[in-house]
């Protein structure tokens, strides 16, 4: 299973989280949000990472030009689209950046929102399910109704996000079998300041999940 820790702002924390076992790190490229990092900060963090760790930039409601410039400047391996990007936008982005992983986040307000998934699967590498919040695009710490996701089986890989923590990850994974998980606020002291003890506890819990 892929394990993505998102909202990295400090290079030394990114390095430590990668060595604890994260397969992907996420960098928030959405200006005016609390975990925002600019391309210089992303480059500094990526310089500390082994090449095997995926580096995903999180964007929302911006232009293809903006995304492609930041990808070129930072060598991100993937982009997560966390706003209202359409399937056509994903298709266009994929044509321009064929070697970059595209993850479309769906912010789930109700069960109908899950039906959008099928419109994206042809154009993206993976989907990501996050919670809907009227004020914040992401990093809300709100959980999804895992029971309502039991039938969610898109034709592409998917990540479960939304309020996952070391304390609830086992419960989530007993109900669902996503291809990946994504955590941000659940392993933090404050926005953008990751708590390495919480990250270590997450990996202990995941080892338990694999053993059972």
Give yes or no for residue 166 binding ligand LGQLAAA5 (CB under 6 A): no
Interface with ligand LGQLAAA5 (CB under 6 A), residue from 71, 100, 160, 161 = 161
Q: Which of 173, 178, 114 is nearest to 148 (CA)?
A: 114
90 labelled catalytic: no
The three-point CA angle 168-174-180 to 5° equals 75
Distance separating alpha carbons of residues 62 and 36, to the nearest angstrom = 14
Out of 8, 45, 49, 60, the residue judged to bind ligand LGQLAAA5 by CB under 6 A:
60
Would residue 182 show up in a list of annotated catalytic residues for this protein? no
- Using CB under 6 A as the binding rule, whether residue 35 contacts ligand LGQLAAA5 is answered as yes
Rounded distance between C-alpha atoms, residue 12 and residue 15, angstroms: 5
What span, in angstroms and rounded, lies between the C-alpha atoms of 203 and 22? 9
The least distance separating ligand LGQLAAA5 from the CB of residue 185, rounded to whole angstroms, comes to: 3
Tell me the β-bridge partners of 160: 129, 181
**Rule CB under 6 A: which residues touch ligand LGQLAAA5?**
6-7, 26, 28, 30, 33-35, 58, 60, 82, 128, 130, 137-141, 161-164, 182-186
């Amino acid at each position: 299973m892929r394990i993505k820790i998102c909202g990295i702002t400090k290079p030394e924390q990114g390095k430590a989280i990668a060595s604890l076992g994260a397969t992907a790190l996420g960098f928030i490229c959405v200006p005016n949000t609390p975990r925002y990092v600019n391309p210089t900060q992303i480059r500094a963090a990526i310089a500390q990472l082994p090449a095997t760790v995926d580096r995903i930039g999180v964007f929302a409601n911006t232009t293809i030009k903006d995304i492609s410039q930041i990808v070129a400047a930072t060598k991100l391996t993937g982009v997560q689209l966390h706003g209202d990007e359409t399937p056509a936008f994903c298709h266009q982005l994929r044509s321009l950046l064929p070697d970059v992983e595209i993850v479309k986040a769906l912010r789930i307000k109700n069960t109908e929102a899950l039906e959008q998934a099928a419109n994206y699967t042809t154009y993206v590498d993976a989907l990501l399910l996050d919670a809907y919040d009227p004020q914040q695009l992401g990093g809300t710490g709100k959980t999804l109704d895992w029971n309502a996701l039991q039938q969610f089986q898109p034709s592409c890989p998917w990540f479960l996000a939304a309020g996952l923590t070391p304390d609830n990850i086992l419960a989530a994974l007993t109900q669902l079998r996503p291809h990946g998980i994504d955590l941000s606020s659940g392993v933090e002291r404050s926005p953008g300041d990751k708590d390495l003890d919480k990250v270590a506890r997450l990996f202990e819990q995941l080892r338990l999940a694999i053993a059972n």
